[in-house]
Amino acid sequence: MVVLANPPQALRSSGRLTLQVAEIAPDTTAFRCLDWDRDRFDIEFELENGTTYNSFLIRGEQTALIDTTHRKFQDLYLERLSQEIDWSQLDYLVVNHTEPDHSGLVPAILSRAPQVTVVGSKVAIQFLESMVHRPFNYLIVKSGSSLDLGGGHHLEFVSAPNLHWPDTILTYDASTRVLFPCDVFGMHYCSDCLWDETPHLLEADFQTYYDCLMGPNARSVLMALKRMQPLAVDLIATGHGPLLKHHHADWVERYRTWSENQAKAETFVALFYVDEYGYSDRLMRTITTGITKTGVAVEWVDLSVADPHEIRELVNCAAGIVIGMPPQSSQTTVTQVNFSTILATASSRQLFGLFETGGGKDEPIYPLRAQLRGLGLVEAFPPIVVKGAATAVIDQLCDEAGTDLGQRLSAIAPSNKAKPSNLALIKPWAG
């Protein structure tokens, strides 16, 4: 059943906001905040059809809220959510992405449910700590992490950095086969139609959204799609627009086709690191900042969880590789295999750079440097070695190193901007 806070037709002319509440799967409720008259979104979009901000509640033996909404909906959203849950019984708040249109009410949720555990990527939790200015319980997740809510609701998580922020994760409920991807697969389209029954009315907004937010990171889209492959999905509960139920496979295939088309012409660097080891996260983000200044894309890969086939594919396609040295002792088998896969796949056509993460027990950096040079790879910047704490000087060094690498690659391939996606590549809608 779908419940509307107010009839949307009566509210469109005044520009007011409405709330749509619907059961979308067993024990799963959608809260769709409909912003009928919004005509611009950030600097990318001039909106023709308004937008929505979608949030979801899953009730197992424990209760989880998936994302929140824009602060402009605070009174309407919190009042309606209070009718659905006892705040003292809310166990988890999953934050797939921390942009304010999805996380704007996190502080309000924490004030009402201080016991809640916030679930998100490491970067998301760091962003939230600077946003909410109060201590909170948290659980850091990435690809391979899971959370059992009981009652058959078992959440699995997929890392999807750069779609379109570095903090993004996708959440999947294995029992209902619902994927909650936040911004991914979304569109700015406001309608009281809950589902995607009329795809021909939606495809222009769907493509515009992809071109503005996802297309610039086409290779990251492809990697996220690959990580999604093991998931049996019946419904994509997006963060914006209608939920993708009737044609969800077609929408995913459009992402795949557009991204493959754009990635063919993309110059990118594969940056390998080990999450939560030393200053790896900080150094790799700063190097990335330098690289992307030059228009060259970056694909991050956590050596501790990546698949060797994924590593091989990325190294084969990358114009440059950057490696954050993994720990020498207590390496996981996965990390060892992936590290060896990089060395077995690297070729003389590539530039490379190395940095020591400052974990204290890093793999020796200079023997690896000699090995890569022996394979014919060209060093883009001298090794960055961190023995103590990372400092502003190290940050500047990493930024400049990334810029040097990006500029050298840009000189080799000066036209590395992705081409716009093309609807002609896509088959017409069936029926």
Lowest mean pLDDT among 135-144, 240-249, 302-311, 409-418: 409-418
Q: How confident is the model at residue 204 (pLDDT cuts 50, 70, 90)?
A: very high
Radius of gyration of the chain (CA): 22
- Tell me, what's the pLDDT at 40? 67
> Residue 383's CB: how many other CB atoms inside 10 A?
16
pLDDT of 66-122, one tens digit each? 999 999 999 999 999 999 999 999 999 999 999 999 999 999 999 999 999 999 998
Start-to-end C-alpha separation, the chain: 27
pTM of the predicted protein model: 0.81
69 vs 49, higher pLDDT:
69
What type of residue is 60?
G
Residues 6 or more apart whose Cβ sits within 8 Å of residue 112: 78, 87
Q: What's the rounded mean pLDDT across residues 180-190?
A: 95
Q: Which two tokens stand for residue 219?
A: 């290779």
Q: Taking residues 42-55, report their average pLDDT.
A: 78
Residue recorded with tokens 């006892």: 86
Distance of alpha carbon 254 from alpha carbon 128, whole angstroms: 32
- Of 37 and 227, more confident: 227
| Closest to 149 measured CA to CA, from 310, 27, 316 | 27
Residue % of the chain over a pLDDT of 70: 90
| Residues 351, 408 contacting (CB under 8 angstroms) | yes
In the chain, the domains with their CATH numbers are 2-262 (3.60.15.10), 268-412 (3.40.50.360)
Q: What's the pLDDT band for 4 if we cut at 50, 70, 90?
A: very low
Give the mean model confidence (pLDDT) for residues 263-284: 88
Q: Is the pLDDT of residue 177 over 60?
A: yes
pLDDT digits (tens, 9 = 90+) for 388-420: 888 999 999 999 999 999 999 998 764 444 444
The CA distance from 421 to 251, in Å, is: 14
CB 98 within 8 A of CB 165: yes
Average pLDDT in the 21-25 region?
97
Name the pLDDT band for 331 (thresholds 50, 70, 90): low
Contacts of range 197-205, beta carbons closer than 8 Å, 24 or more positions apart? 197/246, 199/246, 199/247, 199/250, 199/251, 199/429, 200/429, 202/241, 202/242, 203/423, 203/429, 205/48, 205/49, 205/241
Q: Can you say how many angstroms the Cα of residue 233 is from the centroid of all Cα atoms in its chain?
A: 18
Strand 178-182 to 235-238 pairing: parallel
**By C-alpha distance, which of 225, 97, 223 is closest to 164?**
97
Q: Is the peptide bond before 133 cis (omega within 30 degrees of 0)?
A: no
